[in-house]
Chain A
Amino acid sequence: MLSRDGKKILRGVNLEVGDREIHSIIGANGAGKSTLAYTLMGLQGYEHEEGSLIFNGEDISKLSITERARKGITLAWQEPARFEGLKVRDYLAIGAKDNGGATEEELKEALRKVDLKPEKYLDREVGETLSGGERKRIELASIITMKPKLAILDEPDSGIDVVSLKEIVNLIQTFKENGSSVLVITHRKEIAAASDKASLMCEGVILRSGDPLEISEFFKNRCIPCDSRVSPPKAA
């Protein structure tokens, strides 16, 4: 549970993400999806208050962001940070530091996987004149070099054009193939469809979990017409 100003923001989250599973979180704006992502990462102001948070059999609810990251959990923000002056190559290398570092070729390959040309981007600044979409891709590349056990991706497609959506789906599959579980927050049917499992979230509650297409259909037919912030639909 997580509360803010006396109001419970997350109040009924019962969620399990399996090994090498791609799990989508679907829900309307304000449902608490990003809050769930921040709470799992342990960000300041999103500390877990009640219940348990188990990762590979260990309760991590009291661990710091760094400690969770070193256990293998990481997060890609919906709107990535700017990092004035920080070179792309240095940013990508940071994630790999605890895994013995990344070779030049691994850094280049990470950029290629997010459809950026290494020769054009490796020595540029993250916060330079890059577009939001480019920064988003670079953030995803930084997660590739980290090789996490659980990658939490908050709307990885936001700011990236529709043509590239397929690449994002492929990238998420690549995370899985490389041994990562992926918890992905999305509004996109295409991303949900590529998931192994999906959960529907409304007003800080996981309403139901199951087949991604069924959950997507349920969201489309029941949630979109509903003013979910007034009366959340009952779980079927």
Chain B
Amino acid sequence: MTQITLNTLSSEIKDMDAAYSVAGGDSAVLHDHELASLVISGNKVLNANGIKGIVLETKETEHGVDVKMIIKKGYKIPLPVHLCFGLIPQDGLQEIGMNFVAEEDSAVELVAHCTFPNAVKIIHRMEAQMHVGKNALLKYTETHFHGPHGGAQVIPKARVKIEEGGRYYNNFSLVSGRVGSLEFDYDVDAEKDSICEMVTKVYGKKDDKIRIMEKVSLNGENARSVIKSRLAITENAESEFRGITEGHAPRSRGHVDCLEVIQGNAKAEAVPIVRVDNPLAKVTHEAAIGCVDKKEVETLMARGLEEDEAIDIIVKGMLA
């Protein structure tokens, strides 16, 4: 165990536990000292538990926390590291600075839950620098819950560097409750023989605004990437997707895949952009926006479901 920071704000811990559960997490993992975990409420670190192979440092700032996490060279962390960021009040500002390094030959899975269950006027900003070392593996799953009011403005921004042979898998999901406003901006540099997979799944309702910007630069020979986006928007929600993949190196391969389902008065725009300046690179894309597939709906209706039930199952499946 490399470091423990614990502020004994018991009621806040209880509130965050409840919020973590609402967001889909199992709060017991945040108190298991065999597991690495980090819990931040507003600008307070409620729990920071590192284990062997992980260096975890936190610094509270005026509106948030700066986090530094290093997975030491050669360490394969056997169980996921659990992260919980959130704000319990109806309003406030949270700024998370994340400096993450997976050193050479290390492997880790980070499971993050970001929860703002009562958000009426909340801003959550995350600025992340992520470094995936040579032959290292980072799986990062981030699940959000913003409550029913649509009052969260969430701005996650990450700059990711994947070194030779490194693997980076990012999975972002915001499908329960309201989105509010989401401005998602990830930019990845992928070096030789590296793999990058980014999946975003968002369900927008009412007047939610969703903006997703993902970019992968395939700088190294044989680097491979997939950007996959699944968005469902209904009522008056709006979404804008930009998926950019650049192939700069021989035998680099990339694919951008965006599927959006719209209903009601929702408005969607999807722009996959592929740029290639090496004749041996290949980048492909596909994007589709439309209503729910008619054959899927009619198949489920032919099994006895009402049309609304069928659409609900299909959309939830797409976002699962």
Contact = CB atoms under 8 A, between A and B. Distances in A.
Interface of A: 41, 43-44, 64-66, 68-70, 73-75, 77, 80-86, 90, 94-95, 97-98, 125, 127, 139, 142, 146
Contacts of A74: 302-303
Contacts of A69: 301-305
A68 B298 CA distance: 12
B319 A85 contact: yes
B306 interface: yes
A83 B296 contact: yes
Contacts of B306: 66
Given A82-B293, A94-B300, 13 more contacts: A41-B302, A69-B303, A75-B299, A80-B299, A85-B316, A85-B317, A85-B318, A86-B320, A90-B317, A95-B303, A97-B303, A98-B304, A127-B317
The bracket for how many chain B residues form the interface is 20 to 34
B304 A97 contact: yes
B301 A66 contact: yes
21 contacts: A41-B298, A65-B301, A69-B303, A69-B304, A69-B305, A74-B302, A77-B295, A81-B293, A81-B296, A82-B293, A83-B296, A83-B299, A83-B314, A84-B317, A86-B314, A90-B313, A94-B305, A95-B303, A97-B303, A125-B317, A139-B299
Contacts of A95: 303-304
B313 A44 contact: no
B315 to A, nearest CB: 9
A47 to B, nearest CB: 13
A211 to B, nearest CB: 30
A66 B320 contact: no
Nearest to A146: B303
Q: 6 tightest A-B contacts by CB?
A: A85-B317, A86-B317, A65-B301, A95-B303, A85-B320, A69-B304
A221 B305 CA distance: 43
A90 B259 CA distance: 22
B313 A65 contact: no
Contacts of A43: 298
A146 B320 contact: no
Interface of B is mostly: helix
A90 B316 CA distance: 12
Contact of B307 (A66, A85, A97): A66
A142 B313 CA distance: 15
A66 B319 contact: no
Contacts of A97: 303-305
Interface string B27-49: 00000000000000000000000
A161 B319 CA distance: 33
Q: Taking each of B301, B307, B319, which has the highest tally of chain A beta carbons within 10 Å of its own beta carbon? A: B301
Contacts of A139: 299
Contacts of B318: 84-85
A183 to B, nearest CB: 13
A89 B294 CA distance: 22
B89 to A, nearest CB: 35
B304 A146 contact: yes
A114 to B, nearest CB: 16
A44 B305 CA distance: 15
A147 to B, nearest CB: 11
Interface in B268-320: 293-296, 298-307, 313-314, 316-320
Contacts of B317: 83-86, 90, 125, 127
Contacts of A94: 300, 303-305, 313
Given A44-B294, A86-B313, A94-B313, A64 B301 contact: yes
B295 to A, nearest CB: 5
Contacts of B303: 69, 74, 94-95, 97, 142, 146
A78 B319 CA distance: 27
Nearest to A94: B303
Contacts of B298: 41, 43-44, 65
Nearest to A68: B302
Contacts of B301: 64-66, 69
A136 B287 CA distance: 26
A70 B304 contact: yes
Contacts of B300: 94
Nearest to A99: B304
Given A77-B299, A94-B300, A66 B305 contact: yes
